[in-house]
Amino acid sequence: MRLPASLIARPLALLYRAWVATIRVVEVNRAPMHEHHPVITCLWHDELFACPLMRKSLPYAALISPSGDGDFLSGVLRSYGFRIVRGSSSRGGAGALHELVSAVRDEGYGLGLTVDGPRGPRHKAKVGAIWLAAQTGRPLSPTRVFMSRTRTFASWDRFQLPLPFSTMHIVYGTPWYPDVDTTSAASMRSACRELERRLDAVTLD
């Protein structure tokens, strides 16, 4: 029997904090996150473990799938001060996207988005982040997470869990303001490919 998320969320958040305390976390090129705030931070779904650590002192919101797993993730993110918006491409997506637009444009929240989630294909950006950038006028920050030692799960995204006493680098790419016509499917596809290219270009070098 699956326990309710309300019972598990707090212990899971405490476990996450204890796990992170064993890891050496290094942030690279964080200054633009503050200089360009609010920023739409874009990362791959398999690197989601680092998302709670990206908020720091900035007001941040996150789009979380309305699934059981999303219930657990919401609890962890809330413990780090995130505003949670529930929705996905298949359930409540349109309403969630418009709520995010208001959060960014009217309330000054930055966003954390896994651009190939919640179901993939892996490392193929969907149009949501591009649409949000166009609607809010805010930049996208292609962000990557590099872990020295991990356990990789046999899930669609090959989710990475950093092992205790490893090092995790969070590398923020240069903020990008996409020039896109949201009424053109071709323009949106082109912007998605460009976002993928920019994510692939973010390295530790």
Question: With bands split at pLDDT 50, 70 and 90, how would you rate the model's confidence at 3?
Answer: low
Question: Rounded distance, CA 78 to CA 37, Å?
Answer: 20
Percent of the chain with pLDDT over 70: 93
The pTM of the full predicted model, rounded to 2 decimals, is 0.91
Task: Name which of 9-13, 26-30, 55-59 the model is least confident about.
Answer: 9-13
Q: What's the pLDDT score for residue 8?
A: 77
Least trusted range by pLDDT, from 6-10, 100-104, 117-121, 148-152: 6-10
Query: Is residue 56 left, alpha or beta, with left meaning phi > 0 and alpha meaning psi from -120 to 50?
Result: left
Domain spans, the chain: 5-17+25-151+163-201
Rounded mean pLDDT, 172-191:
97
What per-residue confidence (pLDDT) applies to 5? 60
51-68 pLDDT tens trace: 999 998 999 999 887 776
